[in-house]
Amino acid sequence: MDEKLITLNNLKIFAEELLKANYTLILQDKQGIRWEKISNSDELHISSKLKPTKASFKEFVFSKTEPIFYFNNKNDGVELIDSNLSAEKMVFFGSKPCDAKSINIMSKVFNWDYKDNFFNTKAENSIVIGMLCEYRDEFCFCTSVNLSPVSSDGSDLFLIPTDENNFAIRIVTEKGREFIQPFLKLFAEGNPETTDQIFKKINLPEKGFESEVIRSWIGNNFEHKYFERAGEICLGCGQCAFVCPVCHCFDIVDEECGYSCGRRMKNWDACQFSLFTLHGSGHNPRHNQTQRYRQRISHKFKYYVDKFDEILCTGCGRCSRGCPVGIDIGQIAKEVHSLAANKV
Amino acid sequence: MSEEKFQPKIVAFVCNWCTYTGADLAGTSRLKYQPNVRLIRLPCTGRIDPVFIIKAFEKGADGVLVSGCHPGDCHYNLGNLHARRRFILFSELMNYVGIDSSRLHFSWVSASEGKKWVDVINEVIDTVREVGPFKKYQKINKEFVLHE
Amino acid sequence: MNELREKAKELLLNNTVKLIIGYANGNGHNRTYPFIARNAADANRLVFNEYCVNNLAVYLTRKEFKGKGIIGIVAKGCDVKAIIQLIQENQINKDEVYIIGMNCNGAVNQLDNSFEKTTLAQKCINCTVRTPALYHALIGTTKDIEEPADTLGEKIKEVEKLNADSRWDFWEAQFEKCIKCYACRQVCPLCYCEQCIVDKTVPRWIESSAHTRGNFSWNIIRAFHLSGRCIGCGECERVCPMDIPLSMLNRKMSIIAKKEFDYSAGVSLDSPTLVGTYNMKDRQDFIK
């Protein structure tokens, strides 16, 4: 594995050069709410100790709302016009391992039978510069979903702070290597063994549950009354799904642009909404919040694993930090794990 | 004409029994007023949901007028009194978010006040013309609009 | 705390209530979460402290609980205001709720959704209902607390001072952030509509897309639908993942209701609601 060294000063110059080369730099904002584009390398603030923003960077690869196509009613029929796919080159700078992994996970569902051009174009145009994470709170559980604060999985390049003003940068993918090529003069040669030592010193969040245990328990206990208890206080908002780095459900609606034209929009949707499964007939197969909450857990830890061999969760803890009623998905998984262990 | 005047689009939500009839009277009396207004007839000002007003701005209106019967004249006795209360709240809210009284207008015009209708509508159009096109709203209207 | 648990146990054991909506400790975290107590063992898990920020009145109108017998609820003064408002709007039956009123010494500000800084919550500043206005049992005592300055009122005044264009710019920047997760609506005790106007599709009045235009109409209409009804519990602003200052809208509407009609929400059980009535003397200087 190739490794380079860079000083904080040079990192700023690197950012400056990227901006000049028409890359869009996207970073955690200073308020800790969401990721935002920066226009000046002075705004580059990265740290391994930053708290994860309330929203993930998902919205840049999977927009909260975007047009799929436009339609125009003409005398000789309906004309369809494709929407332009953005070719913006994006760099996610200083992403935590739990964020960096998200594009890989989502790409499985977006390329499973239909190839989703909207997602793919943006994903292909993205470079993820991951960063070792030293933030911990009671909601973090990346180690329980087979990730870790030092994992470069999903990153193209991976930053490791060696001291306050110096970083090591690991080249993880071929895409990352090509991307960094024009800027190599800013980097010095590094030694992967030194950073391996740093990795060893990082303390990891305690592993709370085995995801495989959760998967098989859910498969055998679909009607278990535990879900009733977990789901009864859920208020049915979409906060958890919308801040999640990997939740990818969407809704399609038509909007008019004028008297004879319109656009078809793709909007985020969430399985906790009562409208999510509502049929046109008025029948709702998931008619109470308990069933909807069970769906959320099952999709994350069972269905997605069964289908794509990937847990639909990166353990970032965003949904739990923000849940209006304090539902903590890490805690629920732990409880399910102990239910499974005690065979109840 | 070298310099064309800005022609604002005004949407007027009017009640069937007073203002619409008043506007009709203006017409049958051959009174002239500026043609920038589109009338939308509803049974009563009490039927006018504030969401209609927002929709009008979304559809590109530069100004909105809501007009109905004078208090006490309502065909349904109380519709305009409930509406008045609602519009006190709504106009304050709109003002707070940046849509002030130069774009959002209210009036009472009875069935016999054809002349008042002409005056009101001319005044509304002139006021909106003075503040110009509603560029702020048009900016958010243009998001995701197809440009060819 | 013991007093609360004893009372809860008594109510559950003698079948006065079917269940009690209260708070329990979050699992090891420095926070509490809503908890439904159904038996004596559950009752032993009930807690009440400054971390009990949620307004539990939101559960009273949910179909899992409404009309299913007498519901006990652990409620702070502000939550009781919501209950009063719900009774006033005929959403719950006065006889189907048993209020365990809590004397409250203020809840903490849930900054960043964790309690790193334990400052007093905005809603608790100038609180007039630290002892609930309506209750069946009253628990705890109030003590003097130190109240920081009311910054929300100042923020509103600052925005009011701007010209119309700048006010627009301020709110446009706020609404642009909205992701339409509807946490504000779901957590609001007064947002009980079976079908929300934003979910209506024929006709679709408010676009469900989270672009600025759709967000603008959604947030404006929600503020309007709550005017004269919002009791100021501040839950919508607390839960907003994008930190939109929704209290600045709702407080503004309360100020207008007070100024124009001398009306406050959540005070009277049987007087008509603000927009459910009228007065011949209502102001009409803005009407030509």
Cα separation, A55 vs A53, in Å, equals 5
What is the residue range of B72's domain? Answer: 10-141
Cα separation, A180 vs B66, in Å, equals 61
CATH of the domain at B47: 3.40.50
Nearest-CB residue to A326 (from C33, C64, C207): C33
Residue B1 to residues A49, B8, B130, B132, Cα–Cα distance (Å)? 65, 18, 19, 19
| Complex ipTM value | 0.91
Q: Are A103 and A128 spatial neighbours (Cβ–Cβ below 8 Å)?
A: yes
Which H helix or E strand runs over B7?
A: none
Judged against a pLDDT cut of 50, whether residue B51 lies above it is answered with: yes
Work out the average pLDDT over A105-129.
Answer: 94
Nearest-CB residue to B144 (from A81, A261, A263): A263
Question: How many structural domains compose chain B?
Answer: 1
Give bridge partners of residue B67 from the DSSP assignment. Answer: B14, B107
In a 13 Å sphere around the CA of A59, the CA atoms on its Cβ side amount to 27
Shortest Cα distance, chain B CAs vs residue A67, angstroms: 7
Chain B residues in contact with C171 by the CB 8 A cut-off are 97-98
Per-residue pLDDT of chain C (288 residues; tens, 9 = 90+): 689 999 999 999 999 999 999 999 876 667 888 999 999 999 999 999 888 889 999 999 998 888 888 999 999 999 999 999 999 999 999 999 999 999 998 888 765 445 455 678 888 888 889 999 999 999 988 888 878 888 899 999 999 999 999 999 999 999 999 999 999 999 999 999 989 999 988 888 999 999 999 999 999 999 999 999 999 998 999 999 999 999 999 999 999 999 999 999 999 998 999 999 999 989 899 898
| C-alpha gyration radius of chain A | 22
Residue A160 sits at the vertex; the CA angle it makes with A154 and A166, to the nearest 5 degrees, is: 145
Cα separation, C240 vs B57, in Å, equals 27
Q: Are A218 and A333 spatial neighbours (Cβ–Cβ below 8 Å)?
A: no
Shortest Cα distance, chain A CAs vs residue C98, angstroms: 19
Q: Would you call B51 and C274 a contact, using CB atoms and an 8 Å cutoff?
A: no
H-assigned helices in chain A: 8-20, 58-61, 97-100, 102-110, 117-124, 174-180, 192-201, 211-220, 226-231, 239-243, 289-298, 304-308, 318-322, 329-341
| pLDDT attached to residue C118 | 65
The domains of chain C are located at 2-139, 151-261
Four-point Cα dihedral A209, A322, A243, A45, nearest 10: -100
pLDDT, tens digit, 9 for 90 and up, residues A240-266: 999 999 999 999 999 988 778 899 999
Shortest Cα distance, chain A CAs vs residue C30, angstroms: 10
Cα separation, C234 vs A227, in Å, equals 29
Q: Would you call B146 and A65 a contact, using CB atoms and an 8 Å cutoff?
A: no
Token output for C26: 């979050």
Buried b (16+ CB within 10 A) or exposed e, C39-55: eeebbeebbbebbbbbb
Residue C111 to residues A46, A54, A56, C53, Cα–Cα distance (Å)? 22, 12, 18, 12
Cα separation, A143 vs A300, in Å, equals 16
Cα separation, B77 vs B72, in Å, equals 7
Q: Would you call C167 and B96 a contact, using CB atoms and an 8 Å cutoff?
A: yes
Q: Which residues between 92 and 131 in chain B have a beta carbon less than 8 angstroms from any beta carbon of chain A? A: none
3-state secondary structure of A241: helix
Residues present in chain C in total? 288
Judged against a pLDDT cut of 50, whether residue B1 lies above it is answered with: no
Q: Are C280 and B74 spatial neighbours (Cβ–Cβ below 8 Å)?
A: no
- Asked if the C-beta of C209 comes within 8 angstroms of chain A's C-beta atoms, the answer is yes
- Asked if the C-beta of A284 comes within 8 angstroms of chain B's C-beta atoms, the answer is no
Give bridge partners of residue A73 from the DSSP assignment. Answer: A78
Nearest-CB residue to C205 (from B51, B85, B87): B51
